[in-house]
Structure 1
Amino acid sequence: MRISIVPPADLGAAEIARWRALQATARDLGNPFLAPEFTLGVGRFRDDVRVAVVEDGGTIAAFFPYERGPLGIGHPVGFGLTDLQGIVAADGLELDARDLLRACGLAVWDFDHLLARQAPFAPFHTVLRKEPVMELAEGFDAFEAHLRQSAPKTHKTIRYKERKLGRDVGELRYEFASADPADLRRLMDWKSDQYNRTGRTDRFARPWIVSLLEHFHATGFGVLSVLWAGDTPVSTHLGLRSGAVMAGWFPAYDTAFGKYSPGMIGHLRLAEGCIGHGVAEIAMGRGGKEFKEGFKGREIPIAEGRVARRAPGAAVHWARTAPLNRARGAVLDNPALYKRADRVLKTYARMRGRSA
């Protein structure tokens, strides 16, 4: 087995075609976060992105995209922005994870949304969770019937507020794929306001993330959907699409219309729009949104953990991250703690706003 390390931009057409072929060997490998477009896109704006190309018997058997930081600290590509991570390889690949890290020059590889079924990393899981997926292959009527049965109150509320929004503001119109850069700028403004309002870190304060979204939007890998009430945009969503799979990514809405729950309406309209454009499922990402339980049709097992070699960088990384990861995990796994933490962050944001 031979492992070579290359920048994403050095991958040729044959390597990209092989990457896509390996994605097609398993359902969840088709996720956009595991597509070559995602790694190539992040690699345009970060110089620490690399791809390990694993060859076995003269044939490429796997692609392992990663970021390499100081002291050999490694992360999945787009760490903090991605809801699914892993090695792109067919099942049955026999590969020692620590040997892979050695070839990549990594002391440690930290993951938090790893495909749990990938055998090379299974011994290094510390926490197992599940990512909900909306299944749309049977059409919108079947999807809505599932939602009506699994979450009748949620479905009734969405449809009621949808009608009320149309009456109060204007006839609703859903644009599945807007090419207008102004719509993307609006989404980022709304999202930045949400981050600041709720005490979170504003991702769009980082220029490279703004450039990444602009790139994905311009190339069509990012699908920007807009819900309009009359001539007024009320909610938006930027998802990533790879073939028949969409990954939910950045939803946002105008808080002036918050009483109508435009984000919830947008999710239902997104499902309908995806079905009309050949998308069979939407991976929603893990998280504390209770409405996802009603929308989901299946789940993807994912894992948190770290692969480490005997190296100084691995020890430093563990000391810095282990306590924080345990605390964050406890909050994510406990709905009551999650709500309490959310309230604390919002209170902090209000106090910060008053002192500014």
Structure 2
Amino acid sequence: MRTHVVRPEELGETEIQRWRRLQEADPALGNPFLAPEFTLGTARFRRDVRVGVVEDGSGIVAFFPHERRPGGVGHPVGFGLTDLQGIVADPGLDLPARELLRACRLGVWDFDHLIAGQRMFAPYHQVVRIEPIMDLSGGFAAWEAEARSLAPKTHKTIRYKERKLGRDVGEVSYEFASADPAELTRLMRWKSAQYRRTGRTDRFTRPWIVGLLRHFHETGFGVLSVLKAGDRTVSLHLGLRSGTAMAGWFPAYDTDFSRYSPGMVGHLALAEGCAEDGLTEIWMGRGGKEFKEWLKSREVPIAEGRVARATPGAAWHWMRHVPLNRMRDAALNDPRLYSYADRALKGYARARRRTS
């Protein structure tokens, strides 16, 4: 078995088609974050993106997209932005993870949204959580009926708020795929305000992330959905589309309309829009949002951890990141600590706004 490392733009059409066939062979690989478009798009804005191409006697059996940082430290492509990670490989691939890293000249590869079912990385899992998925394969009506049966009061409340929004503000309308760049700018502005409001790092202060979203929107890989009441935009969502799968990515709403739950109304509209456009599933991303419990149809295990070889770069990476990650995991796994941390971040954000 032989592995060579290339820049994504060096892949030819034959390799890209092979990548797609490997995705099609395994339902877990259908997520847009594992599609070639995500790696190729990210590589337009980051020069550290590489792809390990694994071959045996029969041809290409795997693609390993990754970012290479100084010291041989590796990350998944779009690290910090991606909700699913892994190797795009033939299901029968038998390749030790450390051998893959050696061939890619990496000392360490850390992950936080890895498909837990990938055997080669299983010994390196530190935490396993779940990613919820909305299953639309039976159509929107079937999915909504199931969601209504699981939480009838929640469903009734959201539909009531949708009707009230229409009465108070204007007729509610929905555009599944808007090409308007001004709406994307609005989404990023709202999202930046949300990050500041909650004490999180504002991703849109990084020009490469702004450029990446614009690129995906312009090429159609990113689907921008718009919910309006009258002539007012009240909710937006940018997701990624590949085949019949949608990956939820950046939702945002106008806080002036919070009492109408525009985000939840938008999620229902998104499900209907996806089903009408031939999509059969929406991956909602790992996270502790309660509304996902109501919307989800099934779950996929997602792992966090690191693969390391005995190199100086791997040792440096361990000292810098692992102790902090363990403290964060403790907070995520304890509802009380999570609540304290969330309140502390929001308090910090309020104090920062008062002094700015």
TM-score range, shorter chain: over 0.9
Instruction: Give the TM-score of the pair, scaled to structure 1.
Output: 0.99
CA distance in 2, matches of 1:290, 1:161: 18
Please state if 1:308 is matched with 2:308. Answer: yes
CA distance in 1, matches of 2:216, 2:296: 26
Please state if 1:52 is matched with 2:45. Answer: no
Specify the alignment match of 1:154 in structure 2: 154
Name the amino acid aligned to 2:323: P
Residue 58 of structure 1 deviates from its aligned partner by: 4.1
Residue 323 of structure 1 deviates from its aligned partner by: 1.6
Specify the alignment match of 1:133 in structure 2: 133
Instruction: Give the TM-score of the pair, scaled to structure 2.
Output: 0.99
Specify the alignment match of 1:339 in structure 2: 339
Name the amino acid aligned to 1:19: W
CA RMSD of aligned residues (A): 0.8
Question: What per-residue deviation string (whole Å, max 9, x for no partner) do you get for residues 137-192 of structure 1?
Answer: 11111111111111223212211111111111011001000000001000000000
CA distance in 2, matches of 1:209, 1:297: 31
SS, match of residue 286 in structure 2: coil
Specify the alignment match of 1:248 in structure 2: 248
Question: What per-residue deviation string (whole Å, max 9, x for no partner) do you get for residues 180-211 of structure 1?
Answer: 00010000000000001110000000000000
CA distance in 1, matches of 2:335, 2:175: 34
SS, match of residue 300 in structure 2: strand
Greater displacement, 321-330 / 265-274: 321-330
Question: What per-residue deviation string (whole Å, max 9, x for no partner) do you get for residues 298-353 of structure 1?
Answer: 11111011000000111111111112211221222233332322211111001000
SS, match of residue 20 in structure 1: helix
Specify the alignment match of 2:182 in structure 1: 182
Specify the alignment match of 1:110 in structure 2: 110
Could you list the structure 1 runs, at least 4 aligned residues long, displaced by more than 6 angstroms after superposition: none
Question: What per-residue deviation string (whole Å, max 9, x for no partner) do you get for residues 186-239 of structure 1?
Answer: 000000000011100000000000000000000000000000000000000000
Name the amino acid aligned to 1:288: G
Specify the alignment match of 1:22 in structure 2: 22
Specify the alignment match of 1:97 in structure 2: 97
SS, match of residue 234 in structure 2: strand
CA distance in 2, matches of 1:240, 1:136: 16
Specify the alignment match of 2:275 in structure 1: 275
Residue 101 of structure 1 deviates from its aligned partner by: 0.6
% identical aligned pairs: 71
CA distance in 2, matches of 1:221, 1:332: 31
SS, match of residue 46 in structure 1: coil
CA distance in 2, matches of 1:338, 1:144: 31
Please state if 1:170 is matched with 2:185. Answer: no
Work out whether residues 65 and 76 of structure 1, in 8 Å CA contact, stay in contact via their aligned partners in 2.
yes
Question: What per-residue deviation string (whole Å, max 9, x for no partner) do you get for residues 111-139 of structure 1?
Answer: 00000111111111111111000001111
CA distance in 1, matches of 2:227, 2:14: 39
Greater displacement, 265-274 / 316-325: 316-325
Residue 27 of structure 1 deviates from its aligned partner by: 0.6
Structure 1 unaligned residues grouped into runs of 5+: none
CA distance in 1, matches of 2:213, 2:112: 22
SS, match of residue 349 in structure 1: helix
CA distance in 1, matches of 2:232, 2:160: 19
Specify the alignment match of 1:261 in structure 2: 261
Structure 2 unaligned residues grouped into runs of 5+: none
Name the amino acid aligned to 2:310: R
Cα–Cα, structure 1 residues 24 and 191, in superposed 2: closer, same or farther, change >3 Å? same
SS, match of residue 291 in structure 1: helix
Name the amino acid aligned to 2:33: F
Aligned positions, number: 356
CA distance in 1, matches of 2:151, 2:335: 18
Cα–Cα, structure 1 residues 185 and 291, in superposed 2: closer, same or farther, change >3 Å? same
Greater displacement, 61-70 / 158-167: 158-167
